[in-house]
Each structure stands twice: as C-alpha cells, then as structure tokens.
Structure 1
Amino acid sequence: MRGRAARAENGGVEYQELVDEVCALLGTPVTLEGRDFRLIAFGAHDSDDDRVMDPVRTRTILRRRSAPAVREWFESFGIATARRPVRIPPEPAAGVLTGRVCLPVRHGAVVYGYVWLLDDGAVPPGDPRLDDAMAVAGRIGALLAEEARAGARLGESLRAVLTAAAPDAARELTAALGAAAEGPLTVVAVAPWDPAADVPAPPPGALAVCAPPHALAALTRPAAARAVAGRLRGRRAAGIGAARRGPEALPGAWREALAAARAAGAEERFGGVAQWPDLGPYRLLTALPAAGPDPAVRPLLRPEHRELARTAETFLDEAGQAARTAAALGIHRQTLYYRLSRIERLTGLDLGSGGDRLLLHMALKAARLR
C-alpha cells in the first residue's frame, strides 16, 4: 500500500495543476480551499489591481485558512449545499472588497471544498466557461474524496493503535504509512473533545487524525507537532508526546500527550500547548490517580483564600526566596511574611519544613489539574 505522505505530496501537485487549469480557463485569480476553509492551492495572477489581493485573499494565502467571520459570511449564501456556481457580493466590513464566484467542489452528494474566483466582471453569469470550470472542480472533488477515504482509513488504524483495539493494529498502520513510518513520530492530543463532533481532516504536517475517547489525536513528525497542535486545538489545550520510533511505540507517546494536554490546561505559562519533556513536576502529578485535595490544604483552596493560595504557590515556585516572591507578586516583603503566617495557621503546615513544603506544593499543582 502506498503511504499517505506520498499520496498527499502527489495530490498537492495535482491540485495545483487543476487550479492553474481553472485560472487559464477563466483568466481570473483562483484559490482552492477544503470544506474546512483550509487553503489547498492558489493560482498566481499578475495584476496591478489592488482588488486582486483584497484582505481576505491575502490572509487566506498567508495563514492557509479563512477567518471564522469570513467563513460564516460565505456559508450564509448556501455554498455547502450548492451544485452550481454561487455569486457572493462584496462585503467591505469583512474585508471582502471584491465579490466572489464560488464553485462547489463535489463528489457524489458530498461537498469536499470550494474553488473561489474573484468576480471582477470578466466571467458573466451563464458564461459557458463556468461549465468547463465546474468539470475541473469535479475532478478536484474526486481527488479530495479519495484523500478523505484514505485519511479515514489511516485514522481508523491510528485509533486502533492508540486504544489497543486490535493485535495487528501497529503492523497495519506501518503498512499504511509506508516510508513515513520509518522516521521519528509523535502524537498530539487535543482535549477535551466532544465525541459527537466531526473529526477534522488532517491539517498540513499531520499524517492522520482520529478521536479516541474524550480527546482528538494527530499523528505527526516531531518537527511539525507544535504547528499541528496550533491548527487543531482552537480554544482547547493541546499536548505533545515525546518522539518515538515505529507505530508500535505510539501508545506511550499518546499517554504523554494526554498528560501534557492536562498540564497545558492547568498552567498559563504553557500558552495552551505543552510538550511532555517540558512538564517538570506535572510528569509525576499527571500519573497519579485522581483524588480530592489533601485535608491540610483543603481550607486554602476555598474561593475566599484564592490570593493566599497564589501567594503560597508563588513562594514555593520561587524556592522559598522571599525577595523573589515579593517581586513576582508585586507586594512588600512584610506583606508576604504576613500572608505566609496566615497560610501556616490555615493549613497547620510549617513552611520551614521540607516535607510540609513538598506536600503543599504538590497539592496546589494537583488542584490546577482538577
């Protein structure tokens, strides 16, 4: 079986050739996007007219995806169910300075993407060239449909590996990946994930995507993992496992990615995406069974003591250095000492004791994970 990486590479060439064919047919700038509005290919167009590179087209090319507001504007014209070209008027407030003609890219009953033409008046309604362009869009749809089927099969194999659903799953995934299975691989986890939500198509850099229980998983090369996480996570947290050799080692990377996603959701310093090697104490804390807060620390976690809990965590993060803690919190050192004494009275712990400090620090970090 040919690897999906090879299929995608060759498919990219075919998409570009087909987009160039539409450009030549119509003599107008063209872009091709998937049904998730991810940019697949665009045709070069030499023009001195600034409207050719209006803000929406520029952002789509630079960011490889249309903005959500632009997507909603275009979808409001029924492009997701259309079978013929759809004309969309300009909307300067959304950055659409020039109208568009949308050619739905279909295969059978399914829309797999959209070919976009700038509606500069060069292609009037009923122009027979639009029929020729729709025929090209149909060929693009067949390619996207095959890629979607291949991606779904690969996603099913990945899910079987990560959930240990079949004894030969790793061997099947290796065969499906082809040469891509030989290099280092890792897994990205996005959590939480609604099991009723559609599984997105693999973004650039991802070899496969699937949805094991309560999370989204993407198989990728380590060098592309952060970019893949950024494209998939939306407002959720994402984690990246350590690199592995061979699909049979991916369950370990998946467990690490899930732990890293939990840590990313708990700590702002990770910026929403955490990598397993960077987790520090969370590598241990995420491996512990879920439990309620320690009885000694429970009073400190009540909402009315939020500032005291923050003070305690910062003090411990700064290795008990009063000057550094006061600077980090923006308070006077005497205020810090007063707060620390209140923390000791509230918890019954001695902040001069290494054991008590360890207990308090672990309990505060574990509370973040909950």
Structure 2
Amino acid sequence: MKGDYQELVDEISALLGTPATLENRDFGLIAFGAHDSDDDSAMDPVRTRSILTRKSTPAVRAWFEGFGITRATGPVRIPAAPDAGVYRDRICLPVRHRGVVLGYVWLLDAEPGPSRERLTAAMDVAARIGELLADEERAGADLSRELRAVLTAERGWQYDMAVAALRTALGPDAEGLHALVCVAPWTGEDSPSPRTVPGAAALCVLPWQGPAAPAPAGAAAAPRRRAETGGPAGSRPPAPPGPGGGPAGAGHGTGPASDGGYAPGPAPRRALAALVRLRSADNLSPAATAGERLRGPAAVAGVAAPRRGLGELDLGWREATAAARAAHAQPRLGPLAHWSELGPYRLLTALPQGGPDPAVRALLGPAHTELARTAEVFLDHAGQAGRTAAALGIHRQTLYYRLSRVEQLTGLDLDAGEDRLLLHMALKAARL
C-alpha cells in the first residue's frame, strides 16, 4: 500500500514539475517526492521537519487549516510565512473520498505556477489516493473486534494477547498518544466506521451497566406539580425493583440536579468505546470532538486521561466509563465529562456497586425524595443553613425540620463530621 502512495505522489510531482508531499488528515507523513534542487529555500523548516519526524506541529497544522483546506474541494494556494518557518508559497491538493477529507498533497508554488489543466490532472491523481486511503480506513473499521477483546479481557495472558493483536493491527499508530471515550447509552445498531469520526483509531460496542439516560426536559417537574395540586408532598410513584431487590431509585440517579436525581429509569444496555488519536497530552480536543459527534441527545460521553501506547487501555476504559456515569449523575459535569475534572466522583465511581449503605437505605426510598434532596443540598453547601434554605427556596424552620427527619431516618448525627461524610458520599453514590 505504501508503495502505491509513493507511485502516485511521484506521478503528481512529474505532472507539476515540483516535489510533492502526501500527509494524512492528521498531518502525518505518508510519502514524499525526491528533492534534487540546489535551491535551499525549497527545503524550509516546515517541510524538513515533516520529512524527518513524519509529522507536523499543532501550530503548523492550525496555520494551514486556517486557509480552509479541510473544506476545500480543489487546489488551495497558501502564501509564505517566514515567521512560521514557511519560506515558500504552497499549493495544497485536498485528498477526498465521497466528500470526506482524508489527507493533503503539498507542493511548492512559484510563478507562473502550474496550469489549470495540470492542476486538474493532479486532482484526479489525488482522488485515486483518496480511494486508497478510504480502503485503508475501511480495513481499520474491522478493529472493533480487537478493541473489544482488549476492553473485555481481565489482566493476564488473555489481556496481553488482545493488546498484542490490537497493536499489530494499528501498526505505528499503536505507540502514539490515545484517549478512550465512552458514549452511553449507545442506541446505534453497530459501531460506526472510524472514517466518520476524525482521529478515531478504532470503535466498538460494549455492554453498559451504568445509569439510564437523563429524563427529557420537564419530566422531572411533573411529580412536584402533582404534589402542589393535592398529592402528598414529595411523593413519587412506586419504583420498580433495582438489581439488588430494593428500589431502583436507590441505585440510579437519572433526574436533573434540581429534582435530586433519584428518579428511577430503565438502564441502557450498550455503550460505544472510541480509541482516539491525540497530537499532544495537553490537548484532548480530538477526543472531546469525537464524543460530541457520537453522542445522541439522550447520551453522555466520558473522556479518559491520555496515555501513550496500549498497555493501560483497561484502566483508560474504567476512567472513561466512570466519567460517563458521573455525567449522568451530575448534570453540571456533562454532557461530556473528563476524568481529570470529576473531583470526588473519581473516588465514588470506584466504589463497589453493591447498593446503598444501610444507614441511608430508607432515606433513598421513593417516599423520601425531597428529604434526600434537602440533605444533599445542605451538605453541598457545607452545612450552611442560610445558603441551603435560599437554594431550596424554603424557610429555615422548614429546613431544620427536614434535617431532623433525615437524622431520624438514618440514625446519623449531622453535627458529626464523619456522619456527614458518610451521608454525603452515599447520596452522591446513589446518583451513580
């Protein structure tokens, strides 16, 4: 395949009478034409770095993309910029296939430049390159099996074999920087092709045991309106049994923050895992972009910390799924949550999912939703009664009454720091 690319690049060089360079859409070098000129300015720092390191810097990429090459369907002329290390004008031939940009052919430009007829012929060759790149990406779509094997295997020889198979399939990309993204719930039939998601190296669908999708806007407010028109204050319809036999609301937090997040709902069954290539460890925008593009209106996305190579993909997947669970539990974190920004949910998502602590089990029942919400807001506000009452829109005496009921139900002392910590952790964990 690489030989085919080189032949096509040489064909463009011959057509236009100037050395050509082929890069993929992530500005990774694929092939380049020989340079036999005595003009040293032809080998400016940008072209030299691209050939020697087989990639361009993020700054160079941003500079060229600023000329609209990602959207162009024909040749784009780009002026020299000595301050950026670009000493010569460039011509960019976007390499596209079925409307999707897959790479770029770069040429040095000089007056009078190639004729329109020769550029048209070069674009025809670029289209043939696009077909090859598309075939290569379609082959990469089959990596769903390899990625799924890695993410479902337990540590040991099976995991090591799965990582080795994925490493072989990815080739040189395997040792680069990656971040895992979890999109849940995933409602598509199968995993999409990586070519529809810029930067994606592999995607696969996996079982998902996290919380249900967020309720539609307005759904959480209905029970309160019923309470105001005659129903018992804070009441909720009976909850279906959860996985452990108790109320599902005790283990799933699906409502928005204003309603406490304890309303039960059906758990989604599948999540989509995306392995996304990164250019640098401090720039997770490719992973965030992939998450936003893949998630539907009722789904969230979690992004793991970046890692080099494939050895810790299992840990990255735990981080990505934890971030997705936290985004479901706490709307202010989502709909796209980064593991590095989860705060206490980094610890809470690591706790065993064995149901709520016995002390708070009664409080988390459907009959005490308002009390649970009151306790959580009180603890979120560091136990400050004035701020809590204002946030809830209630009188202080009403707040004190509710807190006393919380103490009666749980047997916890809200003046004791450890009891407060236990209650706060239990309420946050219940959302997960």
TM-score (norm 1): 0.59
> Pick from 190, 196, 200: which aligns with 1:198?
190
Cα 1:290–1:344 change in 2 (3 A) is same
- Could you say what secondary structure the match of 1:300 adopts? coil
- Cα 1:277–1:9, aligned 2, differ >3 Å: closer, same or farther? closer
Give yes or no for the alignment of 1:146 onto 2:135.
yes
Tell me the CA shift for residue 329 of structure 1: 2.0
The match for 1:210 among 200, 204, 210 is 204
Cα 1:154–1:8, aligned 2, differ >3 Å: closer, same or farther?
farther
Aligned-partner SS, 2:179: strand
172, 182, 185: which is aligned to 2:178?
Answer: 185
Note if contact 1:161-1:247 (Cα within 8 Å) is conserved in structure 2. no
1:160 corresponds to which of 140, 149, 164:
149
State the Cα distance separating 1:330 from its structure 2 match. Answer: 2.8
Aligned amino acid, residue 200 of structure 1: P
Among 339, 345, 350, the residue aligned to 1:282: 345
Over 3 Å counting, the alpha-carbon distance change for 1:356 and 1:333 in structure 2 is same
Superposition RMSD on alpha carbons, in Å? 3.8
Q: Deviations along 1:194-244, whole A, 9 cap, x unmatched? A: 5x7221122123222122333211111233111111111112121111111
**Alignment partner, residue 300 of structure 1:** 363
Distance 1:9 1:273 in 2: 23
Please give the per-residue CA displacement for 1:246-293, whole angstroms capped at 9, x wherever unaligned. Answer: 111221111111111111111111122221122222222222222222
Task: Give the secondary-structure state (helix, strand or coil) at the position aligned to 1:259.
Answer: helix
User: How far apart are 1:113 and its partner, in Å?
Assistant: 5.7
2:333 counterpart (253, 260, 270): 270
Q: Describe how 1:1-370 pairs up with structure 2 within 5 A.
A: 43=73, 142-143=131-132, 146-164=135-153, 167-193=160-186, 197-202=189-194, 203-213=197-207, 214-220=270-276, 221=278, 222-234=284-296, 235-369=298-432
CA contact (8 A) 1:240 1:275 kept: yes
When the two structures are aligned, how many residues end up with a matched partner?
Answer: 260
**Structure with greater contact order relative to length (CA < 8 Å, sep ≥ 6):** 2
CA displacement, residues 39-85 of structure 1 (integer Å, 9 cap, x when unaligned): x85647xxxxxxxxxxxxxxxxxxxxxxxxxxxxxxxxxxxxxxxxx
TM-aligned CA deviation for residue 174 of structure 1: 3.4
Change (3 A) 1:198 1:8: farther
Which position in structure 2 is the counterpart of 1:130? Answer: none
In the aligned structure 2, how far is the partner of 1:335 from the partner of 1:351? 16
Give, in angstroms, the shift of residue 245 of structure 1. Answer: 1.7
| Cross-structure match for 1:55 | none
Deviation at 1:352, TM superposition (A): 0.7
Alpha-carbon separation, structure 1, partners of 2:26 and 2:416: 60
Rounded to whole Å, the distance in 2 between the matches of 1:301 and 1:189 is: 28
State the distance in 1 between where 2:145 and 2:25 align: 18
Read off the aligned partner of 1:303 and give its amino acid letter: P
The whole-number CA distance in structure 2 between the counterparts of 1:288 and 1:304 is 26
2 CA distance for matches of 1:245 and 1:189?
18
Task: Answer yes or no: is the 8 Å Cα contact 1:184–1:245 preserved in 2.
Answer: yes
Q: Percent identity?
A: 61
Flag the 1:316–1:269 CA change in 2: closer, same or farther, 3 A.
same
Contact 2:138 2:193 in 1 (8 A): no
Instruction: Note if contact 1:189-1:261 (Cα within 8 Å) is conserved in structure 2.
Output: yes
1:355 is paired with a residue whose SS is helix
Determine helix, strand or coil for the equivalent of 1:167: helix
State the alpha-carbon separation in 2 of the partners of residues 228 and 168 from structure 1: 27
- Give the superposition deviation at 1:306: 1.6
Tell me the distance in 2 between the aligned counterparts of 1:147 and 1:328. Answer: 55
Q: Deviations over 1:277-322 (max 9, x none)?
A: 2222222222222222233322222233222111100111122122
Q: Is the 8 A contact 1:184 1:246 kept in 2?
A: yes
TM-score by length of structure 2 reads 0.52
Aligned partner letter, 2:186: W
Secondary structure of 2:326's partner?
A: helix
Distance 1:241 1:325 in 2: 33
1: distance between equivalents of 2:332 and 2:348?
A: 17
The CA distance in 2 between the partners of 1:217 and 1:191, in whole Å, is 9
Q: Deviations over 1:62-118 (max 9, x none)?
A: xxxxxxxxxxxxxxxxxxxxxxxxxxxxxxxxxxxxxxxxxxxxxxxxxx9679xxx
Q: CA deviation at 1:181?
A: 3.5
Structure 2 contact 320–339 (Cα < 8 Å) conserved: yes
Looking at structure 2, the residues matched to 8 and 160 of structure 1 have their Cα atoms a distance apart, in angstroms, of: 28
SS of the counterpart of 1:210?
Answer: strand
Change (3 A) 1:192 1:6: farther
Q: Where does residue 50 of structure 1 map in the other structure?
A: none
Secondary structure of 2:275's counterpart equals strand
Three-state SS of the structure 2 residue aligned to 1:251 is: helix
**1:8, distance to aligned residue in structure 2 (A):** 5.2
- Tell me the distance in 2 between the aligned counterparts of 1:278 and 1:9: 27
Whichever structure has more helix as a proportion of its residues is 1
